[in-house]
Amino acid sequence: MIQVQILYFASVREALGPGERVATRAATLGDLRDELIARDDAHAQALGRHLPLRVALDQILCEEISPLREGAEVAFFPPVTGG
């Protein structure tokens, strides 16, 4: 298990709050998203595969195949966010 910090932005933040620290067995960003979706209905609605979300790993936009590491910061947000 590794610990990662997750940040949520825009509509995802409205649904789930600003973020959370989680222990995960996920190897990639996509695996992490799937784990979060399986947690509960709120996560499934906000992070579901039907939504075109972007993901950043340590403040760099990445594909979901990118590997996770201990202490990583992961951010989920819609493709267009306002300031």
Query: pLDDT tens for residues 29-38?
Result: 999 999 999 9
How many other β-carbons are positioned within 10 Å of the β-carbon of residue 37? 16
pLDDT score for 71 = 96
CB distance 73 to 5 below 8 Å? yes
Domains of the chain, with CATH numbers? 2-77 (3.10.20.30)
pLDDT score for 82 = 56
pLDDT tops 90 at residue 79? no
Report phi then psi at 18, rounded to 5. Answer: -70, -25
Reported confidence tier of residue 81, pLDDT bands at 50, 70, 90: low
pLDDT tops 80 at residue 24? yes
CB distance 40 to 22 below 8 Å? no
CB distance 76 to 8 below 8 Å? yes
Mean pLDDT within 59-68: 96
pLDDT tops 70 at residue 47? yes
Three-state DSSP at 31 gives helix
